[in-house]
Each structure stands twice: as C-alpha cells, then as structure tokens.
A and B are shown apart, each in its own frame.
Chain A
C-alpha cells in the first residue's frame, strides 16, 4: 500500500538468524514490559477460567483423544466433511500448498470482479502470505481484527497467535493512528478502538468478498466454526456476497457434539474466557434469495506440509494444535523475546516445532533449541501436545542429519556430528561403572583451573572455543563444579550417613 514504509517485521530476520533476533529482542525494554504484562494477565485469567471446570484433566484427555482419532483416519473425515459441506451448498477446493491457495483465491476473486476484500484474522492466511499475493494482484485487502489491522497499518507481522499486536504500546498505536487516520492524539483505548470501528465499518459496507480462517470443521455436518470476540468475523462472513474460508486439513473434527469439548478448552486456554463473545457455525450457503448471508461460500482445504506430519506419531501431535496461544504465554523463552524473534508466523513453543516442519528444518534449525525444556508448554496445552518431546525429536533429527525438509527431500541441514559423537561416547562410558568413575576423576582434574570460589565462572579464551557449549553456558551464568569427593568414594569409605538417621540430614528426612 505504502511502498516507502519498511518491510514487515522490520528489525527482525528469518528463523535462520534466531540467535541474532533474540539478542535484539532482549534489549527492547518496551517489548519486555509488554511481554511481562501478557504473561501475568493471561496467566491469571487462564487459571481463574479453568478453575470453573471440575475435571480439566479429563477434558484435555477427551480433546486429545478426539484429535488423535480424527488424525488417524484423516482421509475419511476430510472426505466426509467435504461431501457434507458441498451438499449444503459450499464449494470445496483442495490446495496442495500455499501457492495453490493464493492462486485459487486470486482467481476466484478476479473471475467475480471482486476488488475490495475484508479479512478476518487467520493464522493459515498468514502462513501462506496471502495478503502479499492479493496485493500483487491489485486486490484491496483490509484486515479487520483490531490487532491485525494495527500491524497491517504498521506493515509488520503478528507477534502472537491470539493478540497479534501485543508488541506495540498504546502510545505507538496512537501515533500510528494519528499518522495514518488523521485522528487527534489520544491515549484513550476506547477512542482508538472507536476510530478503528468508524474506518472499518465503511470497508465492511463496501466489501465484495470476505476471507476468514476456520477453527473447526465438523465432518458430520460440513459446518465450519469460527470463534471471535470483536464481531469482525461475523461481519466478514455475512455481509459480502462471497465468503472464502481457508481451512488447514487438521481442523476437522468428527461430530457437532465434539464442539462442546473444544469450546470449553479453547477460550479458557487462549484468553481466559469461559466463552468468546461470538461463535459462528456456518453450514453451506443460503438456501434461497430471501435468506441472509453470502451467495457463495468457498472452503479451501489446505495441506501445505500437514499430511507429511502424519508420518510419525511424534510429529503428528503438532496437528492436534488448536492455536490457543497458551504455550506462548507460559513459555519463559517467549516471555523474554516475544514472537518476532522466531522469524515465523508461528512463534513460541508450538512455533518452534511447527515452523521447522513447515519450512524445512534447514531453514529453522535453531528453533528446536529455543527452549529450556521446562515443560510449561506441555502443562498448559489444552490438547496435551508433548512439545518438549517434539523438540527433542527435532533436535535428534538435526544432530543425526536425518531431517526431512519440505516435500520429503533431504535438505542441507547443518549436521552436528561432534554433538552426536560426544553423546554416544557419553552414553557408552557412563554405562560402564569403571569408566564412569575414572571419567569423573579426570574431569575433576580438568576443571581445577576453572574453579574460583567454589564455582566455575565465565569460560573464555581457548577453553571456551574448544568447548563451545560450555563457553555459551558460562557466558551468562556460573556452572557448578564436580564435588571434590564422589558419592561412591564416600560410600566406600563409610562416610555416607544412613538415611534412617535423620539428625545429620534433616532435608532428606523431611521428604
């Protein structure tokens, strides 16, 4: 729209340079304060919302079981969904990848002479850079979700799955609105929201077509369900003559009754609400000219690397994701660096597992390491995705050089043969008692020059270079040295107090 403006996600590079991105994010005080606010607010609201459900664990298991069953027979459910939706009057399109989706949508719009499009928030359209394709085809596209619209005005990319403009302060947004919309300067959120409402109402009234995403596709009825709070999705899907819904193939669920489970989980996990303000369940198109709603409903079923993830039950878990964003809010890494540093539309823990699978592990080989494996993401995930397990799986693929890239072609991954060798050696030696003991003695000797005041400080110089992981670890924190005498030695010398005598070791006794 305004070519003089900087490119999206200006300051940040792609996933390949995650380390540089992260360093940049760490020195942005405004971002850090916004992220602290996010973690506290959403964390508290989520905890409060899930306390109103008495069997949260059972609900999560139920949801995961539904997802697992569906994914195990995805071909069957997808066909059922497509046939039922077509019977209800929707037109179904099958798209292998993002390129196909963009081509299909541009073609659909051009054939119908649609030049003005309203869009509601959809991560799937972000994933395939649909806006750029529409812009290139000369189609005037406006994002209508407030957060998405803010970042569209700023020519940036979303930094969070649920609240895309979380990285921007109220002041920055006000300045943006003053510059772009010519409003009077204000720091009143209601006034800013009101300005957005006025401008976007006009766009809704004029739009030829609406493009939305899909949260769930119901196989037994051919319905699509979309959740929201603002009302822009209802406007996008009911005012224009044409509605185009983009749906990743993993969004299908078997029965309408299953929605009950997901409608309890998703709002509580995402925004800490019992239910979002609106849910639209759209089944096909209107029956007669007297009915309300679009004349045409198109549903585009998009693969874009998803079917490949079915290949292994570990990677298949990624397809259970319902895009609630809870793992982002809970992640100590995301909380420090925000979404842009991941260099991908899907940030945070789930992004670190999805992105390498979508764009090829060679282009995102740092992301599986962007985690301390603390497990907070697994704790909060409403569909119990074992994200740490997935991260380890991807790390193993990188270290072994067995990673598959897009289209199942081996991509040049920067293999880590040394890491692989070191861990093999470690496993071999540490499973032999004699070697373990002697290894410990050797290490105690080696560490001696590095120990200062009972701890190992920054390891720089030649040692740091020789052992890069140790150098990196001690660059920001101290390491604990090995104890002067090992437990086994103390045991042999009879210096280990028996557990039944708690006097000398009260902490052990209380456990």
Chain B
C-alpha cells in the first residue's frame, strides 16, 4: 500500500539557477519596498472609512460552515467517485484486486487500440502494465518529445475526491506530470483507500507533512472546451479520454 503511493524522487543535486544579482536584485528590492509602502499608505488612509462601511456591510453569519455538498454519501466512496467521474465524460472501472486491474488494463488497451504506451516511474503501475500484456510498446522514462508520439499514458494517483470524481497527482511521489498530460489517452490507477470524500480532506492530507509537492495536479474528467459557440468539445489540449481503474484491495508490491 505504502509503496503504491510513496515513491519519493532521489535527492539528486539541485538544478543550477541564476538568482538575481547586483543591480537587478537591488532594483527588485526597491520595487518591493515601494509596493509595500504604497499598500500600507492606502490601507492607513482608509482606516477612518472602514468603520463606517463595516456597519452597513457586516456579514450576517460569517462563522457558518462553508457550503457542504448536499448529497449524502450512502454509497461507498469508490462508487460515488465513479458516478461523479462518469458525469463529466470520464470512464471508471472498479476492480477488487491487482489481477483484475491488469485484466481491466488489457481491456482498455484493446478498447482504445493502444500501441505505444508511456508509463510513470511507479513500480506498481509498471508491474500492472506488464501483467496486462498485449502487443504494445511500453516506454519507461520517456522524454517529453517522445510523449507526443504515444497513444496513452498510464499513471498512479495519490488521492481521489469522491464528490467530484477527481484524481489528485502529487509530483513528489511519482513522475507523472507529463505522462498524464501529453498523450491523448490517460489511464489512472488508484487504490480505493486513497479516495476521500471532499476536496477539503485532500487539501488537508497533502499539506499534512508540511512539504508540499512542487506540482499538485487535480484532474476531473478529460480535457474540454466550450470556446466555440459554447458547444462542448472533448480533448482539446489534454487527454481526450480519461479512464480510471479503482482497486479495492491493494496487495504488497512484488
């Protein structure tokens, strides 16, 4: 279970950056001070108005809990997740174990007629993909350029949100930022135990350890646009197909 979601990247050497030096840094610091000064001056000048304005605009009940979603969760989180995802044109299969997950993956490969599949660096996901078999080329550690020629990307996900059918990807645990984005099909695999009910729970979970991922990505359904006459078109820049496999029981990784 732990190995499924936690694969911290090895602490390699830091990327070399060019921080601002000399004149530019001094100029930037000057701009910072000037802006903060302007903010403080204007806030200070407004103080006398604040009281008068507040009297007419006191929030009636500012301590009320922030909007709970009405629908009560009678179903299991995995089932809620599936319903919410399918409502936004995603596909979702709930399976009981990893063997079934591999079978489901195989079906997806056939359904979307996949030939070249990129995979994230998660050993569990790689293992599942190998188990799935099929006449496919699997690309591990593919360069960004190569991803443009792949039919699909297969990744894990660190969290799910049942209410909205959302996958949550944490970059510190898996290299899946581009694999989940560039190919036209994204297959995401998540253990049911990682599905939380609400966004609030997930926001709390990802910041619990204090070290936020460099990229935290929330994915709810396939890429979409309504920019032409408000007509829905699926798959404009991101994957046009999103297929999520939820595994009820996750066995220890081989």
**A contact residues vs B (CB 8 Å cutoff):** 34, 37-38, 41-42, 51-56, 58-59, 61-62, 64-65, 72-75, 78-79, 82, 88-89, 91-96, 100, 144-147, 150, 163-166, 169-170, 173, 189-190, 192-193, 196-197, 200-201, 204-205, 221, 223, 229-232, 234-235, 238-239, 249, 256-257, 259-261, 263-264, 271, 273-293, 295-296, 301, 303, 307-314, 316, 386
Which residues 185-210 of B sit at the A interface, judged by CB distance below 8 A? Answer: 198-200, 203-204, 207
In the complex, which residues of chain B have a beta carbon less than 8 angstroms from the beta carbon of A293? 171, 177, 214-215
Contact A190 B214, CB 8 Å, known A52-B71, A74-B43, A221-B207? no
With A193-B233, A307-B38, A310-B43 given, is the CB distance from A52 to B69 under 8 Å? yes
Residues of A within 8 A of B23 (CB): none
Q: Are A231 and B34 in contact (CB under 8 A)?
A: no
Q: In the complex the two chains form, is B66's CB within 8 Å of A58's CB?
A: yes
Give the Cβ gap from B55 to chain A, nearest Cβ, in Å: 11
CB atoms of B64 and A58 under 8 A apart: yes
Q: Is B212 an interface residue (CB 8 A)?
A: yes
B228–A275 CB distance below 8 A: no
> A82: which of B19, B32, B212, B235 is its contact (CB, 8 Å)?
B32
Known A92-B28, A281-B216; 6 more pairs at CB < 8 Å: A229-B223, A261-B66, A274-B163, A276-B220, A280-B217, A292-B177
Which residues of chain B have C-beta atoms less than 8 A from A100's C-beta? 31
Contact of B229 (CB < 8 Å), options: A88, A189, A311: A189
Given contacts A229-B225, A308-B42, contact A54 B67 (CB under 8 A): yes
Determine the chain A residues whose CB is within 8 A of the CB of B226 once the complex forms. 163, 229, 271
Min CB gap A62→B, angstroms: 5
Report B72 CB to chain A, min CB distance, Å. 10
Among the listed B14, B36, B65, which residue makes an inter-chain contact with A58, where contact means beta carbons less than 8 Å apart? Answer: B65
Whether B11 and A275, one on each chain, are in contact in the complex, defined by CB atoms closer than 8 angstroms, is: no
A239:B144 contact, CB within 8 angstroms = yes
B28 touches A52 (CB 8 A): no
Residues of A within 8 A of B217 (CB): 234, 278-281
A278-B220, A301-B35 known; A286 and B15 CB under 8 Å? yes
Within 8 A of A (CB), among B23-45: 28, 31-32, 34-36, 38-40, 42-43, 45
Instruction: State A189–B235 Cα separation when bound (angstroms).
Output: 12
- CB-CB under 8 A for A230 and B223, given A54-B67, A289-B15: yes
A229-B223, A293-B171 known; A288 vs B11 contact (CB < 8 Å): yes
Residue pair A54, B68 in contact (C-beta under 8 Å): yes
Instruction: Say if the beta carbon of B166 comes within 8 Å of chain A.
Output: yes
Q: Is the CB of A72 within 8 A of B9?
A: no
User: B250 interface residue, CB < 8 Å from A?
Assistant: no
The answer on a CB contact under 8 Å between B67 and A55 is yes
A147 to B233, CA, bound (A): 12
**Residues of chain A lying within 8 A (CB to CB) of residue B49:** 312-314
* B43, B163, B220, B227: the one within 8 Å of A145 (CB): B227
Contact between chains at A62 and B64 (CB < 8 Å): yes
Chain A residues with CB under 8 Å of B9's CB are 287-288, 290-291
A87 to B107, CA, bound (A): 46
Say how far B39's CB is from chain A's closest CB, in angstroms: 5
| Selected interface stretch from B91-99, B108-116, B128-136, B236-244 | B236-244
Please name all residues of chain B whose beta carbon is closer than 8 Å to the beta carbon of A163 when the two chains form the complex: 226-227, 230
B44 → A minimal CB distance (Å) = 9
Q: Does B156 contact A (CB under 8 A)?
A: no
Q: Which residues of B contact A (CB under 8 A)?
A: 9-15, 17-20, 28, 31-32, 34-36, 38-40, 42-43, 45-46, 49-50, 53-54, 57, 59-62, 64-71, 84, 88, 144-145, 148, 163-164, 166, 171, 175, 177-178, 181-182, 198-200, 203-204, 207, 212-231, 233, 235-239
A34–B229 touching, CB < 8 Å: yes
Complex CA–CA separation, A136 to B39 (angstroms) = 32
Residues of B within 8 A of A311 (CB): 42, 45-46
Q: Which residues of A contact B228 (CB under 8 A)?
A: 146, 150, 165, 170, 173, 189, 192-193
- Shortest A367–chain B CB gap in Å is 22
A75 to B41, CA, bound (A): 10
Chain B residues whose CB sits within 8 angstroms of the CB of A271 once the complex forms: 226
Residues of A within 8 A of B66 (CB): 55, 58-59, 62, 260-261, 264
Q: Nearest CB to that of B45 among chain A residues?
A: A311
Q: Considering the complex of A and B, which 7 residue pairs feature the smallest CB-CB distances, nearest first? A: A231-B238, A59-B67, A147-B227, A313-B53, A58-B64, A288-B12, A231-B237
CB distance from A310 to the nearest CB of B (A): 4
Given the complex, which residues of B lie within 8 Å of A166, measured CB to CB?
230
The reply to whether A144 and B237 contact each other, CB–CB distance below 8 Å, is yes
Question: CA–CA, A64 to B70, complex, Å?
Answer: 22
Which single member of B31, B216, B236 contacts A231 (CB below 8 Å)?
B236
Partner of A201, one of B148, B204, B229: B148
Closest CB of chain B to A239's CB: distance in Å? Answer: 6
Chain B proximity of A424: nearest CB distance (Å):
22
B64 engages A94 (CB within 8 Å):
no
Minimum C-beta distance from A242 to chain B (A): 11
- Indicate if the CB atoms of A238 and B20 lie closer than 8 Å: no
Which residues of B lie under 8 Å from residue A82 when comparing CB positions?
32
Asked whether, in the complex, the Cβ of A62 is within 8 Å of the Cβ of B62, the reply is yes
Does A288 lie within 8 Å of B15, measured CB to CB?
yes
A281 and B11 contact, CB distance less than 8 A? no
Given contacts A61-B61, A221-B207, A239-B178, contact A169 B214 (CB under 8 A): no
- For B148, the closest partner residue in chain A by CB is A205
Please tell me which one of the listed residues A65, A196, A307 contacts residue B59 in the complex, with CB atoms under 8 A apart: A65
